[in-house]
Amino acid sequence: MAEFWQQVVAGLASGGIYASLALALVLIYRSTGVINFAQGEMATFATYLAWTFMHHGFSFWPAFFLTLVCAFAGGVAIERVVVRPVENRPVLTVVLVTIGLLVLINGLTSSIWGGAVRKFPSPFSTRPIHVAGVAFSIQDIGIIGVSLAAVLVLGAFFRFTKLGLALRAAAVNPGASRLVGVRVSWMLALGWGLASALGAVSGMMVAPVVFLDPNMMQGILLYAFAAAVLGGLDSPLGAVVGGLTLGVLLNLLGTYVSTLGGEMRLVAGLAVILAVLIVRPSGLLGKAAVRRV
């Protein structure tokens, strides 16, 4: 039984990693209506920035917040420079721009910092804690905790602040928002900035566990997509639930279905998600899309 719980705990820890990036994906989907393929690369780039700050003598938290500011500014800048010109094109065009950004930012990260694997300090203790034969660390809980905190903050922001409301309005109905005085274009930029900052949080939480290299987020992005789709692309809580579910599901499949070793685990996980989508096309916690006729 201890092995079972160990797998669940390890799954939650991995799931926390998927969830943290999935949150950023959800945020950008909610506030701009696109999926951002460059989200992972933006997060990696920001994490390297944080690494550089620390390398130059900053301690963790100052570097952390400085990075958030940079990431926010970077996200806004990306929206202004490359997303804005295609703002009124079909969603597909914007998605393709983000694919271009994925290649571009990954190339920049590699050329600036090189391909070597680097260590990244953790804000949480990595000392193992043993409870009834199951080992975990404060770090594992920390990642999930930060993600949940982000959900709460985001929820409050969208629900209780004027800015959050304007952001939501701009994404759902740009025309009407404009009529009531919302500066739609800047709202989209704000959405990109926030998503970028959230991605940076994810990068800095994940890097101590998986180690920092230019491709750190590429695999994780796939799982984050899966987590976001599973939970519902427009639901922050769904992203976290989706991520944790995915983490535990994959571990249990890999451990107890012996023919599913290695890569088949992912295939099985994706099949489960596809099945969920067929029953609930907008994910577990997503709102059903209302189609305009």
Partner 1 sequence: MSRPRHALRAAGVAALVVVAAVLPSFISDYHALEWATVGTYFIALLGLNVLTGYSGQISLGHGAFMAVGGYTSAILMAHHGVRDLWTIPLAGLVAGGAGLLFGLPALRLSGLYLALATFAVAVAFPALVKKFEHFTGGSMGLILNLPKAPGGLHLSSNDWLYYLSWGIGFALLGLGALVSRGRIGRSFRAIRDSEVAAASSGVSPAFYKTLAFGISAFYAGIGGSLVAIETAYVNPQTFPITLSLFLVVGVAVGGLGSLVGCIFGAALIEFLPTVAPDIARHAPSAIRDQVTPSVIQGLILVLVMLILPGGVAGLARLLENRALGPRFER
Partner 2 sequence: MAMSRPLRIAAVVLAAAVAAAGAGAARQATPGVTSDSILLGGTAPLSGEASAGAGVAKGAEAYFKYVNDQGGVFGRKITYKYLDDGYEPQRTFLAMRQLVQQDGVFAMFNTLGTNNNVAIRSFLNQQDVPQLFVASGATTFGRDAKQYPWTIGYIPTYKAEAEVYARYILKTKPRAKIAVLYQDDEYGQDLVSGLQSGLGNKAKQIVKKVGYDPTSSDVKSEVAQLKASKANVFMIFAFGKFAIQAFIYANQLGWHPQIFVNDVASATSLMVLSPAKATEGAISIVFGKDPDLALWKSDKGMKLFGRIMKRYDPGDNPNGYHIAGMASAYTMVDALRKAGKNLTRKGVMNAATHLNEKGNPFVLPGIVVRTTPTFRYPVSQVKLQRWHKGHWVIFGPLLSAKP
Residues that bind partner 2 (CB under 8 A): 3, 6-7, 10-11, 13-14, 17-18, 107, 110, 114-119, 126, 128, 130, 135, 137, 206, 209-211, 213-215, 218-220, 222-223, 250-251, 254-255, 261-263, 265-266
Contacting partner 1 (CB under 8 A), which of 2, 69, 73, 92?
92
Q: What are phi and psi of 153, to 5 degrees?
A: -60, -45
Torsion angle (degrees, nearest 10) of CA 236, 243, 271, 219: 110
Partner from partner 2, partner 1, none contacting 270, C-beta within 5 to 8 A by type: partner 1
Any bridge partners for residue 136, and if so which?
A: 129
Q: What are phi and psi of 75, to 5 degrees?
A: -60, -45
Any bridge partners for residue 92, and if so which?
A: none
With contact defined as beta carbons under 8 Å apart, do 239 and 247 qualify?
no
Does the footprint of partner 1 cover residue 134 (CB under 8 A)?
Answer: no
Positions 223 through 242 that interact with partner 1 (CB under 8 A) = 225-226, 229, 233
- Contacts of residue 24, defined as CB under 8 A and 6 or more positions apart, other chains included, come to 36, 39, 43, 195, 196, 198, 199, 202, 224
Does the footprint of partner 1 cover residue 96 (CB under 8 A)?
Answer: yes
Residue spans of alpha helices (H) in the chain: 2-32, 39-55, 60-78, 91-113, 138-160, 162-172, 174-179, 184-210, 216-231, 236-256, 264-279
Does the footprint of partner 1 cover residue 115 (CB under 8 A)?
Answer: no
Q: How far is the CB of 35 from partner 1 (least distance, A)?
A: 5
Q: How far is the CB of 293 from partner 1 (least distance, A)?
A: 5
Q: How far is the CB of 268 from partner 1 (least distance, A)?
A: 9
Q: How far is the CB of 200 from partner 2 (least distance, A)?
A: 17
In this structure, the number of other CB atoms found within 10 A of the CB of residue 80 comes to 16
* Site residues for partner 1 per CB under 8 A: 29, 34-35, 37, 82, 85-86, 89-93, 95-97, 99-108, 110-112, 222, 225-226, 229, 233, 262-264, 266-267, 270-271, 273-274, 277-278, 281-283, 289, 291, 293
